[in-house]
Amino acid sequence: MSTRFLSYLVNPRDLADALEKQKSHPPANDESRIVPISAEWYLPNVARKGYEEFTKCRIPGARFFDVDAIKDPNSPYPHMLPDGKIFAEHMSKMGIRRNDIVVVYDSPHIGIFSAPRAAWTFRVFGHPNVHVLNNFKLWVELGLPTEGGERKKDWEETNYPVVDLEKELVVDYEDMLGLVDEGAREGVEIMDARPVGRFWGEEPEPRPEISSGHAPGAISMPFTELIDPTTKALKPASQLRNIFLSKGIDPSPATDKVLMCGTGVTAVVIETALQEAGIEGKRKVYDGSWTEWAQRVPKDSKLIVKEEE
């Protein structure tokens, strides 16, 4: 059996139907499998913990993508992208094959939040077939199948290939230093997914050692504005497009979109929404995001903005 979902975002009933068909007609050893993957993750100031919640309620057969573990172990910043070798080691332990159709989901409590980041990580390492469930909160509310308890390893480890990351999808600190220069900003729009209060330096960051504010030239684009307040799913494409246009975002391929947030997680909610809305231009994520920026820029410089430019 080989299933291909028609869009990057997958609705709960379509995934449930596909998993039921796969259960009835298991794919042969060399065929693509649909593998649901939980990337449930919470900010450090939230009492919930991703894996603990995963053991309470998950899609049957799901595997856990640990955002805090699948990272660069040598970076001082949270969950920075690993190299290809580390990513491959984790995928091998999770029993993921290169031809698997992975559908990533996140929290039943807060909806779309961390799944886009994990799905983007798969894409950065060139995994051919990646999707985001829109979303697990709806899955649970629809009464679709769930299970709980400690996840027993019922798969064989694989030999996932080592692939270099696609640098065109990622922006690093040095890139950002160039982008915030007035002369280099033309043709680039920087969007920040954090709440407005943190963007303007009026509210604290969830990590106490980090001051709030924003990078010069950044546009405030709180990811919550892209989420339906009731379902916590991404809003329909037409609404998303209108939101971006109302912020002055150029929908043409002439302008690159650089996305940031606190630590590179919710920035990818914007990346996903841009894709869904049909907003063109290269989409790149500043992996270190505000946590790295606020700690590395000179404190006496104008690279942390807290007032109208």
Q: Is 6 exposed, middle or buried (0-12, 13-18, 19+ CB in 10 A)?
A: exposed
Active-site positions? 261
115, 134 Cβ separation under 8 angstroms: no
Q: Is 4 exposed, middle or buried (0-12, 13-18, 19+ CB in 10 A)?
A: exposed
CB burial of 269-280 (b: ≥16 within 10 Å; e: otherwise) equals bbbbbbbbbebe
Q: What string of DSSP letters covers the chain?
A: -----SSSEE-HHHHHHHHHHHHHSPPPTTS--EEEEE-----TTSS--HHHHHHHSB-TT-EE--TTTSS-TT-SSTT----HHHHHHHHHHTT--TT-EEEEE-BTTTBSSSHHHHHHHHHHTT-S-EEEES-HHHHHHTT---B-S-----S----PPP----GGGEE-HHHHHHHTSTTT-TTEEEEE-S-HHHHTTSS--SSTTS---B-TT-EE--GGGGB-TTT-SBPPHHHHHHHHHHTT---STTSEEEEE-SSSSTHHHHHHHHHHHT--S-EEEESSHHHHHHHHS-TTSSSSB-S--
